[in-house]
Amino acid sequence: MAADEYHRPTKVAVIGAGNVGATFAYALLQSGLASEIVLIDANHARAEGEAMDLNHAAPLARPARVWAGDYPDVAGAAVTVVTAGSAQRPGETRLDLTTRNVEIFKSIIPRVAEHNPSGIILIATNPVDILSYAAWKLSGLPKERVFGSGTVLDTARFRYLLSQYFKVDPRSVHAYIIGEHGDSEVPVWSLANIAGMRLPVYCAQNDMGCAEEDLEDIFRRTRDAAYHIIERKGATYYAIASGLLRIVEAILRDQSTVMSVSSYIQNYYDIEDVYLSLPTIIDAGGVERILRLELAPEEIIGLRNSANVLRQLIHDLKL
């Protein structure tokens, strides 16, 4: 590695300075992972205001160059995080957002790819699976370098709720939500474990009830969490910003971290040509490998159903 490459500042671009984008930028500033953060928004004044506010935090946090820019400023960014798009409205599903957000992406993604053809594009905008597929098609970049936040947030919610039920640290709960980031998502009960013990064994060995209806309620609360949060405060942004930061950390530090991101799936339980979430190794190159899970029969059925829901919507877009 040449000296100038070693000392090159680490830049992260954020497209969309709304609640999710601004919260992610704040988390990124606090983390110290990036030395340059550029905010791009259709409302340039909003991006300027967020950049000013973030810069005022720099003396109290980790100094970095933060500014409001335009698409040429994504050049050289290791990762471009896309949060721009129409927000989910109360009572609306993520899939209802499809048509209008794909149109927005048609004006964003080709410009990102034009100015930064060697970077990674990370999609957070909903419906994230469909928009990740659209971003891949619109960008012309390799599929390994275009992926979405997927069910990273759902998995975090699932682990948290399980931790509350089992009264352990959520970091000690190992469980995944796979498939669509949305109503057809699938809990992988068969592989969920604490301390290496599958949940039925953990319950039996530790004299816990683990009633099936309780576990089903945990999944329902996981799946429907966004609706309840949006009903109460209008949007979700803290947890997804934390999820995005964790993904970006895995990329910038080449950590080979396993996360349930949304990426291109082929030849996986007969699922082809769709973006959905499965445990995936993320490193400096983006998607390194999608892990093959030994799923229970009902989980395979659920995953295939989730893929069919997404594939039909993708087909209708005629990308």
- Residues recognised as catalytic: 181
Using CA atoms, how far residue 184 sits from 69, 151, 220, in Å, is: 37, 11, 11
**For residue 80, is it left (φ>0), alpha (ψ between -120 and 50) or beta?**
beta
The residue written with tokens 């759902």 in the block is: 154
DSSP 289: E
The residue written with tokens 């919610």 in the block is: 157
Cβ neighbours of residue 54 closer than 8 Å, sequence gap 6 or more: 25, 26, 29, 37, 66
Distance CA 139, CA 46 (A): 26
Residue 263's CB is within 10 A of a number of other CB atoms, namely 25
Concatenate the DSSP letters of all residues of 97-150 into one string. Answer: GHHHHHHHHHTTHHHHHHH-TTSEEEE-SSSHHHHHHHHHHHH---GGGEEE-T
Distance CA 36, CA 65 (A): 5
Cβ neighbours of residue 11 closer than 8 Å, sequence gap 6 or more: 34, 35, 36, 37, 38, 76, 77, 78
Distance CA 241, CA 25 (A): 8
Distance CA 128, CA 271 (A): 18
Do 202 and 166 contact (CB within 8 A), yes or no?
A: yes
